[in-house]
Amino acid sequence: MTNTSDRLYQILSSERFLSMQGLANEVPIFIHAYDVEEEDRVSSMIKSLGARLRNIGVPTAEIDLFRLLLTELKEEGLLDDFIGDETTFDRKDLLGDLKNFASPSRLVPRLVTIMEEESARVTLMSGVGHVFPFLRAHTLLDSIQPAMMRHPVVLFFPGEYIQVPEKGSQLRLFGILPGEGYYRAFNLEHYRL
Residue 47: what pLDDT? Answer: 97
Residue 53: what pLDDT? Answer: 97
Residue 50: what pLDDT? Answer: 97
Residue 186: what pLDDT? Answer: 84
Residue 25: what pLDDT? Answer: 63
Residue 11: what pLDDT? Answer: 95
Under CATH, which number does the domain 2-190 receive?
Answer: 3.40.50
Residue among 98, 172, 86, 159 nearest 134 (CA): 98
* Rounded distance between C-alpha atoms, residue 59 and residue 39, angstroms: 24
Other beta carbons within 10 Å of 150: 14
pLDDT by 10s per residue, the chain, length 193: 569 999 999 999 999 999 887 766 677 889 999 999 999 999 999 999 999 999 999 999 999 999 998 888 888 777 777 777 666 777 777 777 778 778 888 888 888 899 999 999 999 999 999 988 888 887 888 887 766 668 899 999 998 887 666 666 777 788 776 666 656 778 888 888 7
Residue 121: what pLDDT? Answer: 94
Residue 2: what pLDDT? Answer: 62
Model pTM score: 0.87
Residue 177: what pLDDT? Answer: 61
CA-based angle 41:12:193, to the nearest 5? 115
Residue among 57, 65, 22 nearest 155 (CA): 65
Could you tell me whether strands 122-126 and 60-64 are parallel, antiparallel, or unpaired per DSSP bridges? parallel
* Rounded distance between C-alpha atoms, residue 101 and residue 166, angstroms: 34
Q: How far is CA 54 from the centre of its chain?
A: 19
Could you tell me whether strands 168-173 and 180-181 are parallel, antiparallel, or unpaired per DSSP bridges? antiparallel
CA atoms within 13 A on the CB side of 78: 11
184 neighbors 27 (Cβ within 8 angstroms): yes
Residue 35: what pLDDT? Answer: 92
Contacts of residue 188, defined as CB under 8 A and 6 or more positions apart, other chains included, come to 8, 11, 30, 31, 32, 154
3-class DSSP state of 145: helix
* Rounded distance between C-alpha atoms, residue 192 and residue 104, angstroms: 31
